[in-house]
Structure 1
Amino acid sequence: MSSLFVRKNGFTLVELMVALFLGTIAATGIYKTYVSYSTAADTHEQALELQQNLRVSMSYMEKEIRMAGFDPTESGLAGFFATTGDSSIRFKMDLNKDGDVNDQGEDVGYFVAGPDGDGLYGLCRTDFKPSVSTRYINKNMDPPAAGVMPLNFVYFETTAPLTTPVTGGDLEKIKVVEISMVLRSANKDHSYTNTNSYTNLQGTQIVAAQNDGYYRRRVTAMVNVRNMGLSD
């Protein structure tokens, strides 16, 4: 009688440990790649959102400030208001040519605030007529504080800036408005520290280095106020 020997092949403990080790390395590499890609995608998305918010916000202000002082009936009611300063602006214009500035969109102000009480600050636009109403243009700005003025205005008659806040007869001298605005990302990147400070076109610091994880972008514009100084 012959004997039949059957050998059952399998993995040794050492082979299993090696396979587990290699699998762990591969999984770790895949996870790190995913995290890196996800972080890069999130950063890119936040940058795009910042740029879009900057364009929209600046477009609103440029368009309306350019019309400040529009007074086709020469009523003398249009122009810049007494609260016009380096961090806020208010102006009037007779858009429907009816001889007053009491209609919606004819008495307008821009400033930074957090009127909703949700802890978020942003560019606000106020309509003062026919009743006061305020709404957000964006919600991506630093709260105003010492050394932090994310919305900045400089006013010119010619080449030298007018003293702010602009008052009295100087309000009628405004012919150019420089706007500087700094927006920040909605979320922090905990792998990033923003050590940048931001200035207006005159070199004046408007947002000091915050040393935090927010991405920030600055945009500036020079607006010719074409309806001011026409009687000069």
Structure 2
Amino acid sequence: MNKSSTRQKGFSLVELLVALVISAVVGTALVSIFITDSRRFTVQTQVVDMQQTLRAGLDMLSQDLLMAGYDPTESGNFGITDIGLRNLDNNLDTTGDSSITFEMDDNEDGLLDSNETIRYVLYDFPVDTPDGRTDLGRVVGGGGRQLLAENVDAIGLAYAFDQDADRVIDTSAGGNLIWAMDTDNDNVLDTALDTNDDGVIDADDDAAGVALPTLVQLDRIRAVQIWLLVRNETADTGFINNETYVVANRRLAFNDNFRRRTLSTIVKFRNLGL
């Protein structure tokens, strides 16, 4: 007589526990990978946004500056009129950021019209309800500041010049362009920035600069070097930025969670010194 077996096939408690542990490990790994990939994607997006802001801001500013002093009738009514340092309220302030105001004869009539004076300046947009993030603005005539680029931490401008009006931009003893600023807001270049005369304005230079042997008037300016420093819109708590950035005569040090990028370019004024 055959006895029927009462044993049922299945998983033991130990096997179930092992399976649960493995599933938990795999699940945790998948979640970790997802979070890492998501964060990496976010970082890459922020970096791309910053680079686009830098390039777009510099391009628009450069294109406008190429027209500074445009005067097809040779009226003598157009040029650079102000290079003062300004605060976020658009007022002259020697502790503020670089700004530039210039004119161009857009309609080619030889007369300065209200829409032919342009100013670039840093401010906090929107003016009525500032958000604490500074931006680059463009002012036309007596109008308000128009948003050009967001999240711009700093702008710096330094100028090369032709002091003796020989149609050749002045150079240093080392053969490098002399980049200078107006540090006291009297619209006269007074301080050179490349203190070690290596042709590059960087952290190796004295931020205080060195006094020019002769003051330079605005009508001798022939080129401008532009620095823009931008940051990402939102902070990343997993990132610490303790870098120091060179923006013209300033050394800007941070200790926060914002990524930043800086870019510099040189524009030669094609309508000045003709």
Match of 2:155 in 1: 151
Match of 1:97 in 2: 108
- Is the 1:154–1:179 Cα contact (8 Å) retained in structure 2? yes
- State which of 262, 267, 271 in structure 2 corresponds to 1:223: 267
The residue identity in structure 2 corresponding to 1:125 is: R
Could you say what secondary structure the match of 1:81 adopts?
strand
Question: Aligned-pair RMSD on alpha carbons?
Answer: 2.0
Match of 2:6 in 1: 6
- Is the 1:162–1:170 Cα contact (8 Å) retained in structure 2? no
- State which of 86, 96, 99 in structure 2 corresponds to 1:88: 99
Question: Does 2:198 correspond to 1:187?
Answer: no
- Is the 1:78–1:92 Cα contact (8 Å) retained in structure 2? yes
Per-residue deviation, residues 61-113 of structure 1 (Å, max 9, x unmatched): 11111111111223322111235446111111102101223153x21111111
Match of 1:124 in 2: 137
Match of 1:135 in 2: 146
- Is the 1:112–1:123 Cα contact (8 Å) retained in structure 2? yes
- Is the 2:83–2:98 Cα contact (8 Å) retained in structure 1? no
Per-residue deviation, residues 187-223 of structure 1 (Å, max 9, x unmatched): 22222111211114x6x434x2211121111111111
The runs of at least 4 aligned residues of structure 1 exceeding 4 Å deviation read none
The residue correspondences of 1:206-221 to structure 2 (distance < 5 A) are 206=251, 208-221=252-265
Shift in Å, 1:43: 1.2
Percent of pairs with identical residues:
30
- Is the 1:81–1:92 Cα contact (8 Å) retained in structure 2? yes
- State which of 161, 165, 186 in structure 1 corresponds to 2:179: 161
Could you say what secondary structure the match of 1:108 adopts?
strand
CA distance in 2, matches of 1:79, 1:18: 80
CA distance in 1, matches of 2:131, 2:150: 10
Structure 2: gaps (5+ residues)? 86-96, 162-169, 172-177, 189-215
CA distance in 2, matches of 1:118, 1:141: 13
- TM-score, L = length of structure 2: 0.73
Could you say what secondary structure the match of 1:70 adopts?
coil
The residue correspondences of 1:30-69 to structure 2 (distance < 5 A) are 30-69=30-69
The residue identity in structure 2 corresponding to 1:179 is: I
Q: Which moved more, 1:154-163 or 1:26-35?
A: 154-163
Structure 1: gaps (5+ residues)? 143-149
